[in-house]
Amino acid sequence: MSYLYFFGAIIALVIANVFKVLRQAQFIDPYDNPKNNVLVKGLAIGNFINFFVPLRLGNLYRAYYDGKRMKYGVSFSLATIIVEIILDFIFVSFVYIIFSLLGKESFQTLLFYLVLLLIVLIGCIVLKKLRRQVKTIIYKFATLFNRSIELKILKTSWFTILSFENIITKVNKFKLILYSVLNWAMNILSCYLLCQSLNYFSNTYDAFNFFFSNVGITSSIIVQTISLPKAAIIGILLYFSISTILLFLCSYILKKQKVKKSKHDKLLLHVNQDDRLQFLELYFNSSDDSNYFKNYLKLNNDVAIIADYSAGSNATTMLCSKDGQTFWRKYSLNKDAKKLKEQIDWIRQHEDKLTLTSIISETYDDGVCSYDMPYIPDAVTCFNYVHTMPFDAAWSTLKEALDDINKLHKLQKKKADKATIMKYIDEKVLKNIDKIEQGEFIKPLLKYKKIYINGKEYNNLEYFKKYLNYDYLYNIFKNDEYADIHGDFTIENIICLKNGQNNGKNFYIIDPNTGNFHNSPYLDYAKLFQSVHGGYEFLMNTKNVSYHDDTIDFLFTKSSIYYQLFDKLVIYLKDKFGEEGLKSIFYHEIIHWLRLMPYKIEKNGERSLLFYARMLMLMADVEERFKDETSNF
């Protein structure tokens, strides 16, 4: 044995592993400070395990060891190692092709790597062309397990996808190629020097093939050495043992190294595990809108998301934290960004006329719109407020909010015109009915004249069409007046302060909707009806619905507070607008439900039956309420 060559082989192997760690760090660096001492120690331990176990399973412990010391855990660590292994397969394939061109041919091993290379190539094409289907398969597989395991599977898949994408977008490609080339060059050099020091290997190719052939990577080193001569066994054992010890010692040399980076991108923004799972489920079980998720990460990269409070719209509302400050962030992407910008402009224009939320900051650029609002610890939605306060206090606050919105309704008043009313009926009633009738779960119900909802018989949608037409609706709306309106004045959009005041009031209003062209104040009151009459907030918390033929069953709940508030609100509005105005408000409530349905059909699928059933129940209630006026509603 030539000791000089032997120790040279060991040093070359250690250096090869250091380059391997430097390459792994390239995938970590965009999101976390790569702790090279930890990565080197993890690799040393993994190599030690690989000496005894097949299939390089030591990489699993390596992923666990590294991940426990990373910001994003084992899933992220495993993802970087998966990408590393695939890159290694690609490089080793080219090494064997070069050996083959030099006449050093092992057909079985070359075929093995060429097949792997082909699989990788086909996999890349499949992922590119069938991205949505692959994501769905991952989602379906993950959901076979409990929520904890599902989260781990989806996180690992998410991190792996991002790691591959980062090869193109974030990783320094020069360093990635350089470290890969140096890693394998040093591996080959180590095999050459080992060949020179041990009599067992006849040339560099034989030594390289011993460790990296299809047999070499699928079995453990100790199993491979059993059939070798005694001198070769001792030499290979020393080669691996000493290189592993030296690599382990290198981790302590690197221990004092501190890599500082002022800002890293975030892989998962949500603090709450349930919100993380919800986000990943959305990613893997939705249409492949890659730009949406890229913009999402870009927009919210500077914050930690404490909780997601998004409700029934295409805008997302989240409680966020940044630099020790807590605040609300609302944002929309792509085609919905313009609508959110209109909301920001509306708030700016009316902040001195109405008790509205404050805007801390805003952004609108390249299909992304967001604004931040202050977080007030004792602020709760009016839904929470009315259900935790005495009724008199609840009604007093709601009435104060009504009086506030009434001031808005005095601005830019004018008489409704027939053309706009007809457009309103066409766009918001007739077209939405057409969309409802195409709903996957609603369409089978339409063949029945009557359906049974929670055991009670109700007329189906076809029955009510004789009222939902131009002539009848115009007759109801013809005396409406137009003015400035909020447009989405639901219970949830009134924020109440339990222990304080905002500009002398214990409430403020959020989330205006500027997408109305029939700008009657009655729309705002009808939105309150949607809450206290329709029980929308309770319906949102109803998760299950059963249906069969002409029957829909679900747990329908509405609090006594809502019934009391509804009775008070009816008296308040009747005193203010008379019977004619009250009737118009009820009809606008029905139209709100018609407008709501297509969104529920698109987003909720089967659960859209809940909202369809409740809409029919409300139509029946309105018919009963006004049955003495005419034969119609």
DSSP characters for 517-533? SS--THHHHHHHHHHHT
Question: CA 272, CA 306: separation in Å to the nearest integer?
Answer: 6
Look at residue 252 and tell me whether its pLDDT is greater than 80.
yes
Nearest one of 595, 398, 622 to 506, comparing CA atoms: 398
| Predicted pLDDT at 236 | 93
Look at residue 257 and tell me whether its pLDDT is greater than 60.
no
Residues found in the chain = 633
Look at residue 502 and tell me whether its pLDDT is greater than 70.
no
The domains of the chain, with CATH numbers, are 3-253 (no CATH), 289-375 (3.30.200.20), 380-625 (3.90.1200)
With 0.75 as the threshold, say if the pTM is over it.
Answer: no
Mean residue pLDDT across the chain: 90
| Predicted pLDDT at 289 | 60
| Predicted pLDDT at 297 | 79
366: left (phi over 0), alpha (psi -120 to 50) or beta: left
**Mean pLDDT, to the nearest integer, of 296-321?**
81
190: left (phi over 0), alpha (psi -120 to 50) or beta: alpha
Q: What does the pLDDT look like over 164-191, one tens digit per residue? A: 888 878 899 999 999 999 999 999 999 9
**Mean pLDDT, to the nearest integer, of 463-473?**
95
Give the confidence band of 629 by pLDDT, cuts at 50, 70, 90: low
Query: Based on the number of CB atoms within 10 Å of its own CB, is 53 exposed (0-12), middle (13-18) or buried (19 or more)?
Result: middle
Q: What does the pLDDT look like over 311-330, one tens digit per residue? A: 656 788 999 999 889 999 99
| Predicted pLDDT at 162 | 85
- Tell me the three state secondary structure of residue 456: strand
Beta bridge partners of 289: none
Q: What does the pLDDT look like over 476-495, one tens digit per residue? A: 999 999 999 999 999 999 99
Beta bridge partners of 496: 380, 507
| Predicted pLDDT at 142 | 94
Look at residue 290 and tell me whether its pLDDT is greater than 90.
no
Cα dist from 8 to 4, 147, 234, 253, whole Å: 6, 50, 17, 20
585 vs 629, which has greater pLDDT? 585
Number of other residues whose CB lies within 10 A of the CB of residue 458: 16
Nearest one of 628, 376, 398 to 528, comparing CA atoms: 398
Look at residue 287 and tell me whether its pLDDT is greater than 60.
yes
Alpha helices of 254-299 — where are they, by DSSP H? 273-284, 290-299
Helix axes 173-197 and 204-212, enclosed angle (nearest 10):
120
| Predicted pLDDT at 463 | 96
The residue whose two tokens read 């599977």 is 153
| Predicted pLDDT at 2 | 85
Strands 450-453 and 368-374: unpaired
| Predicted pLDDT at 312 | 55
**Mean pLDDT, to the nearest integer, of 529-543?**
94
Look at residue 109 and tell me whether its pLDDT is greater than 90.
no
Of 63-67, 217-221, 336-340, highest mean pLDDT = 63-67
Instruction: Please answer whether residues 389 and 490 qualify as being in contact, where contact means their C-beta atoms are separated by less than 8 angstroms.
Output: no
**Mean pLDDT, to the nearest integer, of 92-117?**
85
Nearest one of 271, 309, 279 to 296, comparing CA atoms: 279
Single-letter residue type at 117? L
337 vs 434, which has greater pLDDT? 434
> Which string of DSSP letters, residue by residue, matches 399-446?
HHHHHHHHHHTTTT-EE--HHHHHHHHIIIIIHHHHHHHT-TTTGGGG
| Predicted pLDDT at 633 | 46
pLDDT > 90 fraction of the chain, expressed in percent and rounded? 66
Instruction: Please answer whether residues 89 and 113 qualify as being in contact, where contact means their C-beta atoms are separated by less than 8 angstroms.
Output: yes
Q: What does the pLDDT look like over 550-601, one tens digit per residue? A: 999 999 999 999 999 999 999 999 999 999 999 999 999 999 999 999 999 9
Instruction: Please answer whether residues 596 and 433 qualify as being in contact, where contact means their C-beta atoms are separated by less than 8 angstroms.
Output: no
